[in-house]
Structure 1
């Protein structure tokens, strides 16, 4: 995951260092959080298989991200907004 070392981690403070090599991440694809990584190191297998409703900064809605079951890189894709 060397190409992601300079990428933004969801929920981090702006200007903070990038991903920690000792943690697991999922890439967020599409929607308002496109390109960010979410740290999932301590998530259960059930949580990893369902994705999550993520807070969108500056928006009252949450973004629904779910894993893409294509056997490729661990990415979560934007499914829409939850009010």
Structure 2
């Protein structure tokens, strides 16, 4: 595991690595990012509609194949998100886009 990967583990996407509380917040719902450059991060999906969750997310990152591009994460067909707070589902890496 390289230094960038170590900084990401257990942290919520979009929070700074030096944030004193970079982990999940109570009463929020998260998807775990699986694979790719953001592997191990949690994505806050609090308030997302089911169709938004089903579409996944294209997340800006400097760590992907295209610096300044986006890494695409999607739920796998048939995987469902559990309702309520906490880590409720997984988004799997689908590739990078510019």
**Which interval holds the TM-score relative to the shorter structure?**
0.7 to 0.9
Unaligned runs of 5+ in 2: 1-8, 81-87
Q: TM-score, normalised by structure 2?
A: 0.70
Q: Structure 2 matches for 1:59-74, cutoff 5 A?
A: 59-71=67-79, 74=89
- Greater relative contact order: 1 or 2 (C-alpha under 8 angstroms, separation 6 or more)? 2
Q: TM-score, normalised by structure 1?
A: 0.82
- After TM superposition, give the deviation of residue 68 of structure 1 in Å: 1.9
User: Of the two, which has the highest radius of gyration?
Assistant: 2
| Aligned alpha-carbon RMSD (Å) | 1.9
- Stretches (4+) displaced over 4 A: none
Unaligned runs of 5+ in 1: 1-5
